Amino acid sequence: MFSKEESRLLRQEFWISFGKSFPRKWLLYDTKIKGFSFKFYFDTKSALIALDIEDDLENRIKYWEKLISLKGILKSDYLPEIIFEEEYLLENGKEISRIYLPLEQKVSIHNKNTWREVMEFFNENMDLLEGFFHEYSDIIKD
């Protein structure tokens, strides 16, 4: 087991290492759409990439419908295994809409032996998800 401080330092080390291994500017929160963000998630049990819609319900519905209309393209041309969840409950109880791709292998941010696999998964798949967003952002933002 790791103390809170040891866990914090490991997490920090992972993200620094990821940034050095794959140096580029990720889109993440800079989508120019309120409440619309890309996320990397890595904890002691899993890793995933996500596109989250966290705005008020009206805007969530508006953007969700646009993404649903592009679902076939996203799945066929970019990420065939991506999952769409209109009502996704975060650990803090907040409901959002999420499109995400989990890494199927067992990984842990506390296990440095899984870091390379997670970094490559993040780099390859977030690049595809951002590529989709760039290609279809005019439709999504409209």
pLDDT, tens digit (0-9, with 9 covering 90-100), for 107-121: 999 999 999 999 999
Query: What letter would DSSP give residue 63?
Result: H
pTM of the model: 0.93
Angstrom distance (rounded) from CA 30 to CA 27? 5
How many residues comprise the chain?
142
Joined tokens for residue 17:
């290492």
What is the crossing angle of helices 57-69 and 115-141, to 10°?
100
Angstrom distance (rounded) from CA 95 to CA 88? 6
Average pLDDT of the residues in 68-96: 96
Return the pLDDT at 95: 95
Joined tokens for residue 60:
């969530």
Return the pLDDT at 2: 84
Return the pLDDT at 55: 86
Q: Grade residue 98 by pLDDT with cuts at 50, 70 and 90.
A: very high
For 44-67, how does the pLDDT look when each residue is reduced to its tens digit (9 = 90+)? 999 999 999 998 899 999 999 999
Give the chain's radius of gyration (CA, Å).
16
What is the crossing angle of helices 4-21 and 115-141, to 10°?
70
